[in-house]
């Protein structure tokens, strides 16, 4: 357990020290505030911006997609980077099991992703709270914030962290970047609707209806919500298992030598 904890700690601290990660967080926060800060202009443009649940739903739908896209690029090189820089040789020299190495990488990536999503939501919610030109109880912000993190954000983080860390263990990194850009590009280009949304979307899926629903269309398709959640969590489980089957990550098998 101590070896696993050491790898998780190493992965997490290493990612926290990357200036690019904080740059991505600042860029996503700036875009979120430009779109959703409760100014008179934005309040006139967005009918429901005076509702904290709508504010959190909106930044989760659009701006978290940008945040996750940037973080996924940072996480994608974790296994290939170890091979390229020779870091895996240090792990191989220790009495470490393959599962500890793999799950340490995955857990460190997940902790990093969840932390930055939490930073993003808390920063933006705090700015919304202090900038709102109308009375706003703190509880009205904290309840949808907690629901967004647990019910919506955690499945998204599982999908992004395990997919970004695990899939490149089997695919060429450039091919993964291409597939990743296509997936996030499709999500960014998809137009929202009051109808049931496709289950394979990342931040536009119907899990978001657990946080806020349009008052004109209050019905929630629970089957679609469940399908979206199962897609994110189920895909994350598959992504996490993939590195365990990769022969490039661990000690090469050597044939047994006969006695001299």
What is the reported pTM? Answer: 0.89
Residue 52 CA: distances (Å) to CA of 49, 144, 149? 7, 7, 14
What would the pLDDT profile of 28-71 be if each residue is shown by its tens digit?
999 999 999 999 999 999 999 999 999 999 999 999 999 999 99
pLDDT of residue 99: 82
Q: Note whether 116 and 21 are within 8 A (CB).
A: yes
Average pLDDT score over residue span 129-140: 93
More confident residue, 229 or 251: 229
pLDDT of residue 10: 87
pLDDT at 213 over 70: yes
Give the tokens for residue 143. Answer: 């309840």
Query: Residue 10, class by beta-carbon neighbours within 10 Å (0-12 exposed, 13-18 middle, 19+ buried)?
Result: middle
Residues 6 or more apart in contact with residue 252 via CB below 8 angstroms: none
CA 121 to chain centre: 13
Residue 176 CA: distances (Å) to CA of 12, 168, 170, 171, 235? 22, 6, 10, 6, 15
Length of the chain equals 260
CA 246 to chain centre: 23
Q: Note whether 162 and 240 are within 8 A (CB).
A: yes
Percent of the chain with pLDDT over 70: 89
Assign 140 a pLDDT band (cuts: 50, 70, 90): very high
Average pLDDT score over residue span 20-24: 97
What would the pLDDT profile of 219-231 be if each residue is shown by its tens digit?
889 999 999 999 9
Assign 258 a pLDDT band (cuts: 50, 70, 90): very low
Q: Note whether 242 and 170 are within 8 A (CB).
A: yes
Give the tokens for residue 257. Answer: 């030598």
Please give the Cα distance from 46 to 61 (Å, whole number). 15
Please give the Cα distance from 143 to 156 (Å, whole number). 19
Please give the Cα distance from 86 to 48 (Å, whole number). 52
pLDDT of residue 260: 37
Give the tokens for residue 16. Answer: 């926290």
Residue 104 CA: distances (Å) to CA of 27, 237, 256? 29, 15, 30
């Amino acid at each position: 357990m101590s070896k696993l904890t050491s790898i998780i700690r190493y992965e997490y601290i290493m990612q926290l020290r990357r200036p690019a990660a904080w740059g991505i967080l600042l860029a996503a926060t700036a875009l979120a505030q430009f779109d959703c800060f409760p100014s008179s202009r934005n309040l006139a443009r967005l009918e429901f911006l005076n509702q904290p649940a709508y504010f959190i739903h909106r930044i989760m739908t659009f701006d978290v997609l940008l945040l996750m896209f940037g973080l996924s690029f940072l996480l994608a090189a974790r296994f290939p980077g170890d091979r390229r820089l020779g870091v895996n040789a240090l792990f191989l020299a220790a009495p470490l099991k393959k599962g500890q190495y793999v799950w340490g990488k995955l857990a460190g990536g997940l902790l990093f992703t969840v932390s930055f999503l939490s930073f993003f939501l808390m920063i933006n919610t705090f700015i919304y709270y202090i900038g709102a030109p109308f009375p706003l109880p703190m509880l009205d912000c904290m309840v949808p914030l907690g629901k967004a993190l647990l019910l919506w954000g955690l499945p998204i983080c599982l999908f992004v962290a395990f997919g970004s860390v695990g899939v490149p263990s089997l695919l060429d990194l450039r091919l993964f970047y291409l597939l990743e850009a296509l997936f996030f590009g499709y999500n960014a280009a998809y137009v929202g609707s009051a109808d049931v949304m496709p289950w394979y979307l990342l931040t536009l899926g119907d899990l978001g209806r657990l946080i806020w629903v349009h008052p004109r269309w209050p019905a929630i398709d629970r089957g679609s919500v469940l399908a979206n959640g199962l897609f994110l969590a189920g895909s994350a489980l598959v992504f996490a298992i993939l590195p365990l089957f990769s022969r490039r990550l661990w000690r090469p098998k050597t044939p047994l030598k006969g006695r001299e």
